Amino acid sequence: MDRLNDTKFYLDCFVVSSLFKETQLQKTAENQIISGLTNKIKELVQEHVNPDDKIGSLINILSPGIIFNILPGGFVKKFIIFLLLNVFHINVGDIIESIWDKLKNAASGDKQIPSSEIDNAVQSAIQEHDTSEETSSLPKFQSLNQDIRIFKLSILEYQMIKSAARSNYDLYTRKKNSFKILSSLLGWIFKVAFASAGLLIAGDIVNNFLGRNTKSTDKTTQETPTITSKQTKFPVKATYSPENNNSNSQWVESISNNEPSIENMLVQFAKDVYSGLDGKEDLIRSSPAFNILKDRIVWYNHTSPNAPMVFIPRNFKSKKEMVDYFIDSIANKTN
C-alpha cells in the first residue's frame, strides 16, 4: 500500500474516531475508540474466519447486522441507523452486498488485494445508490471535518430535518454528506477485516493499527534495546506502577504526531516515573540518548504526520522502559 493509500486509511480513521468521540451524546477517548473497534474486528475475524475459505467467511462476518453491532456507542449508533434508513432512505445492506459483489472476484482464491481495491469497491457501491455523489480518492482534511460536523448535526437535529421548514437543498446536502461518511466508515471496517484475515496488502499505518511490525518498524524495534536504569539519584515514584502496554494491542498516545509533541510526551513520561525531575526539563531535552529515542519514535510514526495520535514502538511495554533509555545520562549530568 503506497503513501496515498496510507493517507486515505488515516483519513478513514479520523472519520471513525470523530464520528464516535466526545459529543453531546457520548464521551469516549479517541484512541480508545480506534483501538477498541480494531480489536473487536480482529477478534471477530480470528474467531470466525475459515482458513480454507476466508472470503466466504468474511462475507458472513461483515453482514450489515454484525457491522452495526460492533460499532461503539449504543445511543449514537441507533441514531445513525435511524438517520440513514428512515430519513435519507439509504439501504446500507444493499450497499454492503454491492461491495461484496465487487470484492469477491478481486480476492478470489483468498489472494491479497491492495487497499485501493477496497476503496474502489466501496466508492462504486456508494455511487450506485447515490448518483449525485462526487468522487474523490483523497478528500481534503478541512472539507472532511466539515462533513463530519454536518453529519453529527443531522443526528442531533433529526426531527428538524424532517420538518417542512428544512429546504430541499439542505436535505440534499446532508444526505450527500451522509454517503461520504458512510463510505469512509465502511471502507475502514473492510480494510481492518481484510488485513486481520491476511487478505490485504497492508502499509505502515494499517500494520500499526493491527499491532504488526513492518520493515521500518522492525528496524526501530531492533535498534532500541531494552535498558534498565542503574542510577540512584532519582527514585521511582511510589505512586508509579509499570504499565503492560503493547501486549494485546498497539500502545497509542493521544497527542499530535509531530516532534515537539513527542518530545514533551517523553519529558512527561520521565516526570511520571521518577521523582526530582521538576525543573530539569531542559537538561532532559539536551540528553543525546533522549534525542535518539525521540527520533526513533518520530520515524516510527513518519507515515502519518500531524495525526492526532502517536504509536509507541512495540518493544516498549511501559513508560519506565522508555525513560530508562536516557535517565542515567540525566543523573550523570546533575550534581
Averaged over 188-203, what is the pLDDT? 84
pLDDT-derived band at 278, boundaries 50, 70, 90: very high
Averaged over 107-132, what is the pLDDT? 81
Q: How far apart are CA 58 and CA 60, in angstroms?
A: 5
pLDDT-derived band at 68, boundaries 50, 70, 90: confident
Q: Give every CB contact of residue 172 below 8 A, 6+ residues apart in sequence.
A: 132
- CA angle (38, 39, 41) in 5-degree steps: 65
Question: Could you tell me if 295 and 198 are in contact, meaning their C-beta atoms sit under 8 angstroms apart?
Answer: no
- Given a cut of 70, whether residue 311 has pLDDT beyond it is yes
If one compares 273 and 313, the residue with the highest pLDDT of the two is 273
The pLDDT tens digits of the residues spanning 95-106 come to 888 888 888 888
- Given a cut of 60, whether residue 170 has pLDDT beyond it is no
pLDDT at 280: 93
- Given a cut of 50, whether residue 133 has pLDDT beyond it is no
Averaged over 143-156, what is the pLDDT? 61
Least confident of 45-59, 157-171, 276-290, 313-327: 157-171
Averaged over 154-176, what is the pLDDT? 51
Q: How far apart are CA 107 and CA 113, in angstroms?
A: 6
pLDDT at 32: 65
User: Shortest CA distance to 274 belongs to which of 218, 223, 319, 334?
Assistant: 319
Averaged over 63-81, what is the pLDDT? 68
User: Shortest CA distance to 38 belongs to which of 65, 64, 60, 20?
Assistant: 20
DSSP H stretches of helix in the chain = 3-20, 30-48, 54-61, 64-70, 74-82, 92-106, 115-129, 141-156, 158-161, 168-196, 204-209, 215-223, 259-273, 281-285, 288-300, 319-323, 327-333
Average of per-residue pLDDT values in the chain:
75
Joined grid coordinates for residue 20: 464516535
Averaged over 57-75, what is the pLDDT? 75
Q: Give every CB contact of residue 240 below 8 A, 6+ residues apart in sequence.
A: 272, 273, 319, 320
User: Shortest CA distance to 16 belongs to which of 191, 158, 257, 213?
Assistant: 191
The pLDDT tens digits of the residues spanning 244-259 come to 998 877 788 989 989 9
Percentage of the residues of the chain whose pLDDT score is greater than 70: 67
- Given a cut of 50, whether residue 94 has pLDDT beyond it is yes
- Given a cut of 50, whether residue 164 has pLDDT beyond it is no
pLDDT-derived band at 33, boundaries 50, 70, 90: confident
Q: How far apart are CA 187 and CA 183, in angstroms?
A: 6
Percentage of the residues of the chain whose pLDDT score is greater than 90: 16
- Given a cut of 90, whether residue 208 has pLDDT beyond it is no
- Given a cut of 70, whether residue 229 has pLDDT beyond it is yes
Q: How far apart are CA 249 and CA 59, in angstroms?
A: 25
The H or E element spanning position 72 is none
